[in-house]
Every structure is written in C-alpha cells, then in structure tokens.
Amino acid sequence: MRTKDRLFANLDLPLLIAVLTLMFLGVLTVYSVTYNPESPSILSMGEKYGKQLLWVGISLFVGLLMLLIDADIYRKFAEFIYLGCLVLLVIVLFMPPVHGARAWLGIGGLGIQPAEFAKIATALYLAKIIDQINLKLQNLQTVVNILVILALPGFLVALQPDAGTLLVFSSFLFVMYREGISFDPLLLRIINYFRVVRFKTTWLGTHFIPFLFFTLILCLMSLLLSNTPIHILGLELPGIQLLSLFITLLGLIFLLLLIFFGYPRYRKNHLVVLLSAYAFIIMLINSISFVFQHVAKPHQKNRIELFLGLKEDPNGDDYNRNRAMAAVGSGGIYGKGYLQASVSSMRTNHVPESETDFIFCPFSEEWGFLGSLLLLSLYVFVILRIFSIAERQRSTFFRIYAYCVGMIFFYHVAINVGMNIGLAPVIGIPLPFISYGGSSILAFTSMVFILLKLDSQRKDVLR
C-alpha cells in the first residue's frame, strides 16, 4: 500500500535539515561577501544577496513539486530527461561566450547552466540502465553503453569548455565500481583481438580503482619531470627520459624474475601482461610529457606548473589561489566576525570570484578554523547520510542514483575546498548550497529532493 496521503511522513529529516542549514549559511555568506551599505536589505533584488534569496525560494518550491511526483516517474522518463539535457548542452554551444565559456542559456541577466542539470539527468539515466541489466551476464555491449552515456554529456561539457563539471562526471566511474560493473568484457576484447594469448579475465577489470590511482600517480610524475633536468654523475638528463630508463630497468628485473622463477605453464600469460604493462606505462608518461610541452597552451602550462609547485607567480597567474589561501589563513582560529572579512570581501576585491568559486575564503575569514571545521563536518554528515540512504534502498535504481548524488557532492566539496586552500588546481566549481548562483543551487536542491522522494517510497518496492 502506498503512502501518498502522508507526503512528508517518510522523508529523511536529518538530511533535509542539514541541507536547509547549508542553504541558510549560503545566504548569510553571500550577503556578507556582497554587502552593499546603500542597499542593506537582504530582500534587495538589485543585489546578489537578494537574487540568491530569490533562487533559494524558487529552489525550495521546485523541490516541493518534486516531492509531489511519484518516484516511478523519474525512472520511466529518465532517458527523456537525459536526452533533453543533451539537447540543451548542444544549444548552449551556439550562445555568446561568458567569461570565455559557452555555458549559459538565457536572456539578459537571467540564465541557467545546462551542465549543472546534466549531472542529475546522467545520474538518473545511468541508474535506470544499470538497473535493467543482469550484472552476472554483463558483456561488452553493457560496458560500452554505460561509457557512452557518460561520454556524451562529458564531451559536450568539454566543448564549452567547463573543466570543473567535466571532472565531476568522472565520479560516476566510482559508482560503476561499487555496483560491480567490470571492464573485463571491454579489456578482454581489446587484448584477445591480437590473439597473442587468450584470457578468461583481466587483472585491470577487477582492480579498476587501484589502477586508476596508479595511472594518476604516473601522470603526476610525468608532469613533474617533463621540464625538470636531473643531475647524475655530472650529467644533466631530462627527467622524463630518466623516468623511462628507470621503468625499463624495473621491467627487465621483473622479466628476469619471471624467466627464472615463474611457473612454466603461466609464463606465457604473465609475459604478455608484463610487456603490455611496460608498453602502456612508457606510452603514457611520454604522451603526457609531449602534450604538456608541445600541445598545452601557455596559460594551461602555467596553471599546472603553479599547482605542482614548479614555479611561483603570486601576483600573476597564481594570484587567485595565493589570495584565497591568504584569506583562509587570516581568519585564524576564531575568525574576524560576521561582515568583518577584509581580504576576501568584494569591497576590497583581493579575491576574485569570492562569492562563487572562492566563497569558502570569506566564510573561513569570518568564522575561522573552528567555523570552517563545522562547515566541513556538516558536509561530511550530508555525504555519509546520502551513502547511508543508498545502502538501505531495496531498488537498484534508487541505490545507484543515491550513490551518484553522494559522489557529486564529494567531488564538489573536495575540489572547491582544495582549490581554496591550495591543494587543488583552480578549475571553477561551486561549493554546494553556499556559492552564489541560481543554476547551482537549483540543481543541487533538485538533486537532493529527488533523492528524498525516492527514499520516501523505498518501502513500496518489493524485494
């Protein structure tokens, strides 16, 4: 029996209260950062804090409407929502650029970013597709279909370009790993195509996440050593060549160990794996180095070098990150007090975009380390609560969507805060419910309220 007559009876109140608290803190912070003494009323629609409050009201109204919709509607129309967002992502590419990116749809001062809503659409459609397949019988077509679903919006977002949102789409790979989607069918088809040796399974397919981190480490090492000469025995050698030489020597050692100590019946398979791994690593590090040195644009190289600590330019290309860290540090333990931010306030303009991508700076400056710790604790609670909600779902569709929402939140918080304290590159990504922006707050509110609705009807799903 459905419980439509008790709309709010099964809502997860802890998550709802935490989200409403973040919204309240967001409005307070935007008011403080953009405060205009000539228009002190928070209801002033000519100021950013008035517009932010208006967007909060619109978002909560839209969230209420989403609670009135039956949860099955999101499953039935997931592909249409997904296709609709793809169409918007195509249309936005023909719009006039704003700050160098074609990411906005709108007229005059009112506009939305389709990329923000594409995350929700992709999460819903991904959940529906995985819910329809038998994981025990997954094949090459299964893996390719899922990767295409992720690649289409990712490719369109990359054309805008919007590096921050593109990076968030990679969070869905962890959801695939959690649900047991294996890359074995795809990798086996690639490996067995050459017919050197036949495999029944691949190490990479069952250890995708460790392999992902290993690849990331190799990429960072390649970037660090691309333009870094190393002095050995009085000789100056390019760092990337020395890294290639080290990997070659390491490969030879493993080859000798395999020849002298490996079991003969497994030797052929292990030899192919070893040679494939060596070829992959050598091609990867040299490709990364070549792209960094000869393909990347000067401003892109500068950002990477600044982030990796290969150069310093506190008053030039690294100005934003440098001033952001100064603002965070200036808050001390207890902060300067509400409306007392000096480094990160828009009135001083020391920190560009302090009301959007760098809004963690004024919050930290006003409330200090303790306030920042409480804010991060609130985000940790929200993310863990979402994962807890995911684990109690009876429906695969509900569970996958919940995990997608949790990973999106984790990426946004980790990257935005890391960007503000110098641990992540400046790529432009909002802090959920805190940063100024209608598209961001409307998208996150919709995302959470859909989750609340799905969770409220979890008992209607038969096991």
Considering the domain architecture, whether residues 267 and 160 belong to the same structural domain is answered as: no
Res 418: pLDDT? 86
Q: Is the same domain home to 140 and 235?
A: no
**Same-domain pairing of 27 and 92:** yes
In a domain, 6, yes or no: no
Q: Are residues 127 and 150 in the same domain?
A: yes
User: What is the per-residue DSSP string for 244-309?
Assistant: HHHHHHHHHHHHHHHHHHS-HHHHHHHHHHHHHHHHHHHHHHHHHHHIIIIIS-HHHHHHHHHHTT
The answer to whether residues 130 and 171 belong to one domain is yes
Cα–Cα dist 57/43, whole Å: 12
Which residues have CB under 8 Å from 148's CB, separation 6+?
Answer: none
What is the reported pLDDT for 265?
67
Does a structural domain hold residue 232? yes
Which of 268, 283, 304 is the last residue in one of the domains?
304
Determine the Cα–Cα distance for residues 156 and 115; give it in Å rounded to an integer.
9
The β-bridge relationship of strands 235-238 and 110-112 is: unpaired
Q: pLDDT, tens digit, for every residue of 230-244?
A: 665 556 667 777 778
Residue ranges, the chain, pLDDT below 70? 1-8, 99-100, 106-110, 134-140, 182-212, 227-237, 262-263, 265-270, 273, 295-297, 299-300, 303, 306-320, 346-350, 461-463
Single residue among 252, 283, 304 that ends a domain in this structure: 304
Residue 267 has a pLDDT of: 65
The reply to whether 165 and 297 lie within a common domain is no
How many domains, the chain? 2
Could you list the residue range(s) of the whole structural domain that residue 273 is in?
Answer: 192-304
On whether residue 406 sits in a domain, the answer given is yes
Q: Quote the distance between the C-alpha of residue 258 and its chain's center.
A: 40
Shared domain for 299 and 166, answered yes or no, is no
Q: Are residues 287 and 211 in the same domain?
A: yes
Does residue 431 belong to any structural domain of this protein? Answer: yes
CA–CA separation, 79 vs 149, rounded Å? 10
What tokens appear for 252 in the block?
């030879």
User: Shortest CA distance to 148 belongs to which of 126, 167, 164?
Assistant: 126
* Dist CA 25 CA 16 (whole Å): 14
141, 161: one domain: yes
Q: Are strands 110-112 and 229-232 parallel, antiparallel or unpaired?
A: unpaired
Q: Are 408 and 457 in contact (CB under 8 A)?
A: no
Question: Does 150 lie in the same domain as 56?
Answer: yes
Structural domain includes residue 199 = yes
Q: Which of 284, 304, 324 is the last residue of a domain?
A: 304
Whether 187 maps to a domain, the answer reads: no
Identify whether residues 300 and 322 lie together within a single domain: no
Are residue 200 and residue 230 in the same domain, yes or no?
A: yes
Angle, alpha carbons 168-52-351 (nearest 5°): 65
User: pLDDT value at position 205?
Assistant: 52
Bridge partners (DSSP) listed for residue 235: 232
Whether residue 456 lies inside any domain: the answer is yes
Between CA 114 and CA 92 the distance in angstroms is 8
Structural domain includes residue 4: no
